[in-house]
Amino acid sequence: MDNRRSSNKCIGCTVDNCAHHAKSEDYCTLHQVSIGTHEQKPTEPQCVDCESFLLDN
């Protein structure tokens, strides 16, 4: 990840092992994220996923 990218204050994120995480603060560096679900009709937050997640190697 390029740590010089700025934080997007509109997208909070605490998943610090994602390549898009701002690292120095709990925000995403993407301009837009994709949100999806693994359930047909999600009823709880655990059923919703950030499909923009990319493991930081």
Residue-wise DSSP of 10-51 = EEE---TTBTTB-SSSSEE--S---EEESSSS--SGGGEEET
Residue 18: what pLDDT? Answer: 97
| Angle, alpha carbons 6-17-40 (nearest 5°) | 100
Residue 5: what pLDDT? Answer: 78
pLDDT digits (tens, 9 = 90+) for 6-53: 999 999 999 999 999 999 999 999 999 999 999 999 999 999 999 999
In a domain, residue 21? The reply is yes
In a domain, residue 2? The reply is no
In a domain, residue 57? The reply is no
In a domain, residue 44? The reply is yes
Is residue 3 very low, low, confident or very high in pLDDT (cuts 50, 70, 90)? very low
Q: What CA–CA distance (Å, rounded) separates 30 from 12? A: 11
pTM for this structure? Answer: 0.82
In a domain, residue 1? The reply is no
Domain that holds residue 24: 8-50
Residue 4: what pLDDT? Answer: 56
In a domain, residue 17? The reply is yes
Domain count, the chain: 1
